[in-house]
Amino acid sequence: MNKYLLCAMACAAALAAAACGPPEPKSPNLLLISVDTLRLDRLTCYGGPEGNTPHIDGLASQGVRFASVQAPRGLTWPSLTTLMTGLHPRTHQIRDNGAMLPEQFVTLPQKLTTAGYETGAFLSNMCDAPNRGLSTLFCAWWEESGPPAKRTRREWLSHDQPKWDAAITREAITFMRKERKQPFFAWVHYIDPHKPFDLVPEYARDEYDGSFPVDDDSLARLTLAQTPPTPAQRRQLLAIYDSQVSSTDAHIGAILTALQADGLADNTLVVFTADHGEELGDHNAYYYHLSSVYQQVLSVPLILRWPGRLPADLVTDAPIAAVDIAPTLLELLGLAAENDSMEGESRAGLARQEAGATGAATTFSEWRDRMVIVGQGNWRYIWNPDAVVTYGLPFKRDSDLGFSIAPEELYDLAADPLQQENVAAAYPEKTAALKARACAFVTEQDFHRSISHQLSPESEERLKSLGYLQGEEETSTATSPLSDHCPAKP
């Protein structure tokens, strides 16, 4: 046979062998699970009651648990927008539920779409938010007939949150099981244990006896009378809240089981977090989150699991902020270049247990454009220079009561985790240093902005039904920027 023909045949065989060789590894999937109004200390793996959250605990034992994560605000839209953009609220401008994200800001789903991902979100809450970059958007509120017409507050408060959470679980599993060539990004956001505090009977605790009617009216009476719950009342409240937490944990378990059964677990980075927590009566006899600036609301969980790629059963105490989550995920997925437009810093090194990896030296949270909460190690400093009294159900602007916060508050979380003793006067140097950090944060980009919320009547009614809007005061722009209280720049 002609030697040139033999050479050609050999080359063809080599090319065929290469074509039949092992395929290029598929890019990893990303599953993001977030829970609305999830108080950190009700998760067993974060020190909560034994048996409350077996599936979340299992996730933590298989991955990396971050022990100190600071939310940007005790409100859903600002916090989840930070999660989706890697930007502080002062930058992305979402400081209230109902605000619209300016077009110049790019979301995590948009970045992943550009990188070739199929993106889907399965939401029990935040359905009206500007969830950009999603090829699939399923909202449990709208499951049957699209965005509902205007409803009364009582009708909204009678909704079936476990049913919504079951629906998004079902739809998320269907989406993940879909045959596709590209990787997927699936975001699942659960609403329970958000108010109303309704017992989920199958997860009722032994201590629950129904002796305390845990409804808005009974809780409002305690708040307005500034009467903390009795130990017996608090046991009933926590038993109900924990039943909602356990119900959500079971839905999360169903998703994780499906991921494993379908052979997707090893190539999927699973992320578990929350938008914020809940007061449950710890400050000002207040039970919700909108008005609070304390750690019961601002501490959130973060667990990352990726078999074979991240350590198992690792706990990192290094503090980070929720603004760091999106850049961390992008780096772990091999898309670090997409972090350029984000303010948060990647903490992938902490997740990988790399030598020299560090957390955030300082974290920042905000209450609209009127307060800054600064975290350094165990210290939490609250700066409220205008002595703003915050409002949110059951408080109203025309009442004599609100959620009172001193102009300066300082807490040592190591000695006082529930933040009951303001020690600002006892530590003047620490207080002054943290105020300086607050001013530096504020003056990097002025808080005082005019925001157009552009709410439809239906969206406004839904937000009011959940106690997020009470009138113009919740969507108006603050009249005094915090930067006015800082030294002028030279």
Residue 235: which CATH number? Answer: 3.40.720.10
How much of the chain exceeds pLDDT 70, in percent? 83
**Total count of residues recorded for the chain:** 490
Residue 153 has pLDDT above 70, yes or no: no
Say whether both 424 and 443 belong to one domain: yes
Burial of 425 (0-12, 13-18, 19+ CB in 10 A): exposed
Say whether both 279 and 399 belong to one domain: no
Per-residue confidence (pLDDT) for residue 20, from 0 to 100:
46
The average pLDDT across 47-60 equals: 97
Per-residue confidence (pLDDT) for residue 396, from 0 to 100:
78
Contact assessment for residue 345 and residue 325, using Cβ atoms and an 8 Å cutoff = no
- Arithmetic mean of pLDDT over the chain: 86
pLDDT in tens, 259-276: 999 999 999 999 999 999
Per-residue confidence (pLDDT) for residue 56, from 0 to 100:
98
Residue 151 has pLDDT above 60, yes or no: no
Q: Is 489 or 406 the better-scoring residue by pLDDT?
A: 406
Which range of 105-119, 390-404, 449-463 scores highest in mean pLDDT? It is 105-119
Distance CA(85)–CA(94), nearest Å, equals: 11
Confidence of residue 147 (pLDDT cuts 50, 70, 90): low
Residue 99 has pLDDT above 90, yes or no: no
Say whether both 332 and 443 belong to one domain: no
CATH number at 381 reads: 3.30.1120.10
Range of the domain at 101: 29-361
- In this structure, is the dihedral angle defined by the CA atoms of residues 405, 411, 415 and 417, taken in order, positive or negative? positive
Per-residue confidence (pLDDT) for residue 393, from 0 to 100:
84
Distance CA(339)–CA(322), nearest Å, equals: 14
Q: Is 323 or 469 the better-scoring residue by pLDDT?
A: 323
Residue 438 has pLDDT above 80, yes or no: yes
Say whether both 430 and 335 belong to one domain: no
Residue finishing a domain among 344, 361, 378: 361
On whether residue 108 sits in a domain, the answer given is: yes
Residue finishing a domain among 304, 329, 361: 361
Confidence of residue 159 (pLDDT cuts 50, 70, 90): low
Say whether both 169 and 238 belong to one domain: yes
Per-residue confidence (pLDDT) for residue 474, from 0 to 100:
39
Say whether both 392 and 256 belong to one domain: no
Residue 403 main-chain phi, psi, to 5 deg: -90, 105
Say whether both 274 and 372 belong to one domain: no
The average pLDDT across 81-105 equals: 91
Say whether both 198 and 90 belong to one domain: yes
Per-residue confidence (pLDDT) for residue 464, from 0 to 100:
56
Based on the structure, what is the number of domains in the chain?
Answer: 2
Residue 69 has pLDDT above 80, yes or no: yes
Confidence of residue 220 (pLDDT cuts 50, 70, 90): very high
Confidence of residue 212 (pLDDT cuts 50, 70, 90): very high
Say whether both 169 and 34 belong to one domain: yes
Residue 478 has pLDDT above 70, yes or no: no
The average pLDDT across 289-298 equals: 97
How much of the chain exceeds pLDDT 90, in percent? 70
Residue finishing a domain among 361, 376, 391: 361
Distance CA(268)–CA(266), nearest Å, equals: 6
On whether residue 241 sits in a domain, the answer given is: yes
List helix spans (H) across 334-474.
348-351, 428-444, 457-465
Q: Is 61 or 22 the better-scoring residue by pLDDT?
A: 61
The alpha carbon torsion through 368, 374, 379, 384 (nearest 10 deg) reads -50
Residue 448 has pLDDT above 80, yes or no: no
On whether residue 49 sits in a domain, the answer given is: yes
List the one residue out of 115, 483, 71, 23 whose CA is nearest residue 329. Answer: 115
Confidence of residue 477 (pLDDT cuts 50, 70, 90): very low
Residue 214 has pLDDT above 80, yes or no: yes
The average pLDDT across 469-475 equals: 42
Say whether both 307 and 396 belong to one domain: no
Joined tokens for residue 154: 């009582």
On whether residue 3 sits in a domain, the answer given is: no
Confidence of residue 160 (pLDDT cuts 50, 70, 90): confident
Residue 279 has pLDDT above 80, yes or no: yes
8: left (phi over 0), alpha (psi -120 to 50) or beta: alpha
